[in-house]
C-alpha cells in the first residue's frame, strides 16, 4: 500500500485547511434573515392578539346573569333565598364571607375551650376550661394502675371477645 492511500489521498507535505467551507457572508446573511423573520412573526402575533382581544370585548356578555340593572329584574335574589334553595336540594353553599366565618368559628372554639358546659348531660359528661383541667390534673395526678392491673385488664379484654363469640353461637 503506498503512502498516498494511507494519508487518504493527501500527501504529508501539504498542511492546511479545506477550501470548500461555508463563507462568513452566508452565515451573516442567514442570521440577518432569521432576525427579520422573527420580528415579522412577532408583529403578526401582536396584531392577532390585539384583534382577538377587541373581538372578545365586543362579544362579551355580562359577567353574571344575576347582575343586571334593578329595573329589569322582577324578583330580588337574597342570601336567605339562595340558602333555602341550596338546603332544599342538598347542595353545599359556597362561603360568602370566608374570613368572617373562619373568625367566628375560631371564636366559638375558644369559647368552648375556656368555658364550662355540658357535652352530654344525660351521661354526665361536662367540659371545663383547659387551665382548670390542668390544675386538677396537677393536684389529683393521673390515674395509676397498680402492678398487677395491666395483666388483669389484658385478661379481661381477652375474655370479653371469647364470651361474645360463645354467646353468639348459642
* pLDDT score of 164 more than 60: no
CB 112 within 8 A of CB 130: no
Do 126 and 118 contact (CB within 8 A), yes or no?
yes
Grid coordinates in use for 155? 385478661
Q: How does pLDDT run across 29-75, given as a tens digit for each residue?
A: 999 999 999 999 999 999 999 999 998 888 876 666 666 555 554 56
pLDDT of 12: 54
The model's pTM: 0.32
Residue with cell 368555658: 115
Among left, alpha and beta (phi > 0; psi -120 to 50; other), residue 124 is left
pLDDT at 154: 63
- Beta strands per DSSP E along the chain: 117-120, 125-127
- HSE-CB of 165 using CA atoms within 13 angstroms: 5
- Please write the tens of the pLDDT for every residue from 101-141: 889 999 999 988 888 988 898 998 999 998 899 999 999 98
If pLDDT is split at 50, 70 and 90, which confidence band does 153 have? low
Amino acid at each position: 500500500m503506498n503512502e498516498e492511500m494511507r494519508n487518504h489521498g493527501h500527501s504529508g507535505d501539504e498542511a492546511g485547511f479545506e477550501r470548500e467551507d461555508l463563507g462568513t457572508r452566508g452565515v451573516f446573511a442567514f442570521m440577518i434573515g432569521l432576525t427579520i423573520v422573527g420580528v415579522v412573526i412577532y408583529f403578526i402575533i401582536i396584531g392577532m392578539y390585539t384583534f382577538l382581544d377587541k373581538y372578545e370585548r365586543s362579544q362579551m356578555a355580562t359577567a353574571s346573569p344575576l347582575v343586571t340593572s334593578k329595573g329589569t329584574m322582577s324578583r330580588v335574589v337574597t342570601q336567605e333565598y339562595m340558602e333555602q334553595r341550596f338546603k332544599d336540594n342538598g347542595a353545599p353553599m359556597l362561603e360568602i364571607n370566608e374570613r368572617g366565618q373562619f373568625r367566628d368559628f375560631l371564636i366559638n372554639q375558644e369559647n368552648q375551650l375556656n368555658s364550662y358546659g355540658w357535652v352530654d348531660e344525660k351521661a354526665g359528661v361536662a367540659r371545663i376550661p383547659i387551665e382548670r383541667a390542668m390544675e386538677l390534673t396537677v393536684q389529683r395526678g393521673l390515674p395509676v394502675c397498680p402492678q398487677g392491673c395491666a395483666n388483669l385488664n389484658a385478661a379481661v379484654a381477652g375474655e370479653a371477645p371469647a364470651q361474645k363469640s360463645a354467646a353468639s353461637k348459642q
